[in-house]
Structure 1
Amino acid sequence: MIVRADFARGMVRAFGHVLRPYPARDIPAGTMVDLPGRGPLFVTDSGPRDAPVVFLLHSVLTTGLLCWYPVIPELNKRYRVITLDQRWHGRGIRSPEFSLDDCADDVVALADELGIDRFTAAGFSMGGGIAQLVWRRHPQRVTGLVLCSTGPYFSTRDPRLRAQSRRTGRVLTAVDKLLPRPRVGRLDDTSVHTTVWAMRQFLSTPLSHMGHFGDGLGVFDSREWLAEIDVPTSVVVSTRDRVVEPARQELLVDGIAGARRFEVDGGHACCVLGAQWFIPPFIEAVDAASEVSIEA
């Protein structure tokens, strides 16, 4: 237990040097929502009820709030904003398997539960793949897409790399045993320093499932149907990204008819670690993708 506590304190100090302190107290409160036949997950629903709806879909190893908390207050000025914890992330659905298809269907099931007919789907990294699949599997529900620091695929199907991913998963399983699992009540405590709140959010996702996340990401590939996307689409390109390289992000700009490109001078975690540069182009991108809804 001492080792786990010391490890956590070290991570908090490391985050404290790089995490811009957008106050956690400014984020919306959330609740658990039980999706019939699917399971319970943590959801936030904020902003004007009569405004256009934006679903924010998070990246791997984060949560709905951890990925998006800096941008939510600004977005709430003219949008109803929904976040959710995806499967096995934070307080997401616990299921036997992890797939982006299931995550996409969860989004629409949640929209049904909230009485939301149509919406803009905005995704960061893994969430960008989920957003594309929400359109692919439920095109009548999506009015626009905002795809950030993401691409039409996440990894090659090379079996050697898949094997490497599984080995990494085994290592992370060992590391996971050192990490203190935050109590559920503490995840909602926004009175603490933002860095402490962020670390609690991060530690709420079991690293031992990284191998499953890698498998789920590895089978995603939208290149065969990318040109079929027929809703307003914004692509936010992180120009210093070393995880999803800019050239792969540009495939979305080139492959989706009428897609508009927005640029952020940042790396792969720019939605949080560099949020001051991410927020302005992201808001412009949401406005562009939601233009039809706003006019309506």
Structure 2
Amino acid sequence: MIALAPVDFGGPANGPLLLVGPSLGTSAATLWSGVAERLTQRVRVVGWDLPGHGAGAPSEPFTVADLAAAVLALADGLGVERFHYAGDSVGGCVGLQLLLDAPQRVASATVLCTGAVIGTPDGWRERAATVRTGGTETMLAGAAQRWFAPGLTDRRPGVSAALFDALRHADAESYARTCEALAGFDVTGRLADIVAPVLAVAGADDAATPPESLQRIASGVKDGRIVVLDGVGHLAPAEAPDRVARLIGEHVGVSAEPITTAEVYAAGMTVRREVLGDAHVDRAVAATTDLTEDFQHMITEYAWGTIWTRPGLDRRSRSLVTLTALVARGHHEELAMHLRAARRNGLTNDEIKELLMQTAIYCGVPDANTAFRIAADVLSDYDGGAPS
């Protein structure tokens, strides 16, 4: 029997247990850390690594059913009879298998960027043969296109780099065996037997398992619903950890929203780093003095922890609103900072150009003229050059 390597993200010992499963070529730590960080105030989160991935040791050939049995053994080892489950891609396939093989053990399941069947058997066998011949390096060239929505590597370079590194260091034979397990997986005809609540989460930009794949799951099970995340590809937990954590929290029956002042501040610091970048935030923190410390804390707590974490607008939209307000008020230093943030949030130079054209009408030509000058300087370092 396969022995899975657990990754304990922490959480209350007496809280509900959420087991989280990875995608092919990733590790639990690189894929799920952001989501776990947002849930462990109320939920104990434990991930598992595929054989030969992350902390997982290589194993003999296995099936998706074997992985599901190993997840049950992991729960047994934790002393938990009934647990919640979330999994991405092959991790989602394992979730469906668990719901079929041990429905009494799974309180709820969130399956992300997956399918009752994924790809074709021949396609998976061809990939297995490619990796056996050339190693997992052969998968790196197309990984960004397979995994991420456009622009993710620019917006979150640290996250994408960690995932690429996990793929690079995955054991080639174990990767190939996972491909073969997926080649043999198809529970399309058994979805109606699944009775536990299932949340199917799709990435709007996921080419490998498009929203239609998740819709078939949500429609096929007894109690399913689907949520499609805009601006997300195949690795939703890493691409949109705040939205995924909120959805899983709601499905599990706990809140993923921070409730204490310390939690609001921590959530704000996380978003601030994601939007502005670690280098910028590190400089700001290093420059904090006794005079500015309270002000910096307030900004992190209220602007980033209270407003930027709200679910009503995505970050692209918040960047558009923020840039417009900064042009209108003439806050040029902040404008430069938020132009960079806008690129991290997925806006293109052409979209920023259109926004600045709009401000020329509604904020005034002199304000827009200054904004274009600042943008020409700031955006020259990005693909596509400055707005023209």
TM-score (norm. length: structure 1): 0.71
Change (3 A) 1:65 1:267: same
The CA deviation at 1:195 is 6.9
Q: Residues 259 and 85 of structure 1: is their aligned pair in 2 closer, same or farther, counting only changes over 3 Å? A: same
Q: 1:81 is matched with which residue: 37, 45, 53?
A: 45
Given residue 245 of structure 2, which amino acid in structure 1 is its aligned partner? I
**Matches of 1:175 and 1:85 in 2, distance apart?**
19
- Give the letter for the 2:132 counterpart: R
Asked if structure 2 preserves the Cα contact closer than 8 Å seen for 1:62 and 1:89, the reply is: yes
Structure 1: which amino acid aligns with 2:235? Answer: A
**Which protein, 1 or 2, shows the higher relative CO under an 8 Å CA cutoff with sep ≥ 6?**
1
User: Is this contact kept in 2: 1:61–1:207, CA < 8 A?
Assistant: no
Tell me how far apart the structure 2 counterparts of residues 230 and 156 of structure 1 sit (CA, whole Å). Answer: 27
Contact residue 44 and residue 83 of structure 1 kept, 8 A: yes
Following the alignment from structure 1 to structure 2, what is the Cα–Cα distance between the partners of residues 67 and 228? 29
Q: Within the alignment, does 1:214 sit opposite 2:176 as a pair?
A: no
The secondary structure found in structure 1 opposite 2:188 is: coil
Contact 2:36 2:245 (8 Å CA) reproduced: no
Gaps of 5+ in 2: 139-157, 255-388
Q: For each residue in 1:17-37, what CA deviation from the matched residue of structure 2 results, as whole angstroms up to 9, or x when unmatched?
A: xxxxxxxxxxxxxxxxxxxx6
Spell out, residue by residue over 1:49-79, the C-alpha distance to the aligned partner (whole angstroms, 9 max, x if none): 1111110111001111111111111011211
Q: Identify the residue that residue 192 of structure 2 maps to in structure 1.
A: 227
1:195-215 C-alpha deviation (Å, 9 max, x unpaired):
775555444312344332211
SS of the aligned residue for 1:224 comes to helix
Q: Counterpart of 2:251?
A: 289
More helix by share: 2
Quickly say closer, same or farther: Cα 1:198–1:235, change in 2 above 3 A. closer
Is the deviation greater in 239-248 or in 282-291?
282-291
Query: In structure 2, the residue corresponding to 1:73 is in which secondary structure?
Result: helix
Based on CA coordinates, which of the two structures has the bigger radius of gyration? 2
- Runs of 4+ with >6 A deviation: 193-196
Local SS of the residue matching 1:70: helix
- 1:111-122 correspondence to structure 2 within 5 Å: 111-122=75-86
* Contact 1:172 1:208 (8 Å CA) reproduced: no
The CA distance in 2 between the partners of 1:285 and 1:211, in whole Å, is 32
- 1:252-263 correspondence to structure 2 within 5 Å: 252-263=217-228
The residue number in structure 1 matching 2:13 is 49
- Tell me the secondary structure at the aligned position of residue 14 of structure 2: coil
Query: Given that residues 66 and 202 in structure 1 are in contact (C-alpha distance below 8 angstroms), is that contact kept between their aligned partners in structure 2?
Result: no
Change (3 A) 1:199 1:289: same
Residues 1:268 and 2:234 are matched in the alignment: yes
Distance 1:222 1:285 in 2: 24
Q: How far off is 1:45 after superposition?
A: 4.5
2:92 aligns with one of 114, 128, 132: 128
Instruction: Say whether the 8 Å CA contact 1:91–1:204 is kept in structure 2.
Output: no
Classify the secondary structure of the residue corresponding to 2:248.
helix
Q: 1:257 to 1:39 in 2, by over 3 A?
A: closer
1:59 matched to 2:27 = no
Q: Give the AA of the match of 1:256.
A: V
Contact 2:132 2:172 (8 Å CA) reproduced: no
- Change in Cα spacing, 1:251 to 1:73, as seen in structure 2 (3 Å) is same
**1:145·1:231 contact (CA, 8 Å) conserved in 2?**
yes
1:279 maps to which residue? 242
The alignment's C-alpha RMSD in Å is: 2.5
Following superposition, the deviation at residue 227 of structure 1 comes to 1.0
Deviations 1:244-276 (A, max 9, x none): 12211211111112312222111113322x32x
What is the DSSP-based 3-state SS (H/G/I as helix, E as strand, rest coil) of the residue aligned with 2:237?
Answer: coil
Q: Distance in 2 between matches of 1:131 and 1:198?
A: 22
1:169 to 131, 134, 138: 131
Provide the secondary structure at the position in 2 that maps to 1:144: strand
**CA distance in structure 1 between the aligned counterparts of 2:160 and 2:70, rounded to whole angstroms:** 29
Structure 2 letter corresponding to 1:279: D
Contact 1:58-1:64 within 8 A present in 2 as well = yes
Q: Which amino acid aligns with 1:121?
A: Y
Q: Deviations over 1:133-187 (max 9, x none)?
A: 1221221110001011111111223x4x3553344223432847xxxxxxxxxxx
Shift in Å at residue 217 of structure 1? 0.6
